[in-house]
Amino acid sequence: MVMSMSNTVRIRVRDAMFDCESCANTIEHVLEATYGVEQIDVDESTERVEIDYDPDIVAPTELEMTFEAWGYTPRP
């Protein structure tokens, strides 16, 4: 699901392998370091990540590639 807030877009993703605090911390730190990402909310108990980002700076495909580079498979 994607929601728009002015110049910021929120995307929600899930990952089947995303089930521990270490995984949550890893993906949170990696995404926080991604230029254009403004806020991240990670919930390992539901395997969900909400990412607020500026689509003028970073594309959803770049966020997906970031997940995949760290061994996670994002799903809507």
Read off the pTM.
0.80
* pLDDT tens track for 21-63: 887 888 889 999 999 999 999 887 788 889 999 999 999 999 9
What tokens appear for 76 in the block? 């809507």
CA atoms within 13 A on the CB side of 59: 3
Q: Is 44 left (phi over 0), alpha (psi -120 to 50) or beta?
A: alpha
For the chain, domain boundaries: 2-75
Residue 6: pLDDT band with limits 50, 70, 90: low
The CATH fold of domain 2-75:
Alpha-Beta Plaits (3.30.70)
